[in-house]
Structure 1
Amino acid sequence: MKLHDSLIGLLLIAFGGWVLWQARGFPAMPGQAIGPSTFPIMLGSLCALGGVLLFWQGRRTSRGKLVWIHEGWRIGSRVGCVAVAVFGTLLLGITFETVGFPVGGTLLLSALFYTSGLRGLRWIAVSAVFVLTVHLVMTRLLYVPLPSGLLKGLL
């Protein structure tokens, strides 16, 4: 599915406005010009400004449909990959503490490879090495507490 640039611009304007609305209630820092609301206000303003520019550009240059489905999305394997990515991520999120990042991430990435046509033990190994590398970097170097789940005590 493809959205017209003007619709995406309207979404960016709405998001920027929502961020600005939320940031207005942040407390000020006594004695400092930069407070907790500074970054959200900058982000919201830039999103809204980008949305205005995208909306204007979309309305100026294009006269096509507002929403249409691209021919590439009529291929079953692509729809399958999206389904695996969405539902696999939801399932991993629900079972994250029990299964853990290394096992769950490897299963999800292997399923994505399989659905996209990359089959064989090589792609399972690529999944395992990639997810294990990410896990070790996050837990050992960046001190992010990712759950080991089924591999607790091994990692």
Structure 2
Amino acid sequence: MKLHDSLIGLMLIAFGGWVVWQAQGFPAMPGQIIGPSTFPTLLGTLCALGGLLLVWQGRRTSQGEFVWIHEGWRIGSRVGCVAVAVLGTLLLGVTFETVGFPVGGTLLLSALFYAAGLSRPKWIAVAALFVLTVHLVMTRLLYVPLPSGLVKGLF
């Protein structure tokens, strides 16, 4: 799927405006010219200006369609992969504390492999090894408290 540059530009303008609006509520620092709102305001303004340039470029080189869906996205397996990714991530988000990252991540990645047509048992092992590696790196090296869930006490 391809979005017209003007649509992407409008999204960037809206996002940049929202960032600037939110940054104005940050408290000022006494005696400082540069406060907590300075950099978000600067980045939001730059984002909105970039959006304006995209809208201008899109209008200048307009080719008609605002949304174009490539033929490749009409293949059922690709739509299935997107559905598994979106719905699986939502389900994992709701049950994250109970199920935990190792089990939930392995199930989600295995389901994605299966939806992509990779159904041999080695892909379950690849998913488990990858998720376990990410879990150990995040929890042991970076000290990110990922929940162990069903396998609590093993990691």
TM-score (normalizing by structure 2): 0.94
AA of the residue aligned to 1:134: V
**Which runs of at least 4 in structure 1 moved beyond 6 Å after TM superposition?**
none
Q: Show CA shifts across 1:67-109 (max 9, x none).
A: 2322111100111011001100010001100100010001001
Superposition deviation, residue 29 in structure 1 = 1.7
Trace 1:49-60 onto structure 2 (pairs within 5 A).
49-60=49-60
Output aligned runs, 1:18-33, within 5 Å. 18-33=18-33
Give the aligned residue type for 1:126.
V
Paired position in structure 2 for 1:44: 44
Q: Find the aligned partners of 2:53 and 2:75 in 1 and give their Cα distance.
A: 33
What does the per-residue CA deviation read over 1:16-75, in whole Å, with 9 as the maximum and x for residues that have no partner? Answer: 011111111110122333322123212211211111111111111232211232211110
TM-score, length of structure 1 as denominator length: 0.94
Equivalence map 1:129-144=2 (5 Å): 129-144=129-144
Residue 76 of structure 1 corresponds to 76
Q: Shift of residue 124 of structure 1? A: 0.9
1:107 paired residue number: 107
- Segments of 5+ residues of structure 2 without an aligned counterpart are none
- Between the aligned residues of both structures, percent identity stands at 85
Correspondence for 1:15: 15
In structure 2, the residue matched to 1:118 is 118
CA distance in 2, matches of 1:133, 1:46: 38
Query: Residue in 1 aligned with 2:151?
Result: 151
Q: Does 1:86 align with 2:89?
A: no
How many residues matched?
A: 155
The residue type paired with residue 31 of structure 2 is G
What corresponds to 2:65 in structure 1? 65
The AA in structure 2 aligned to 1:60 is R
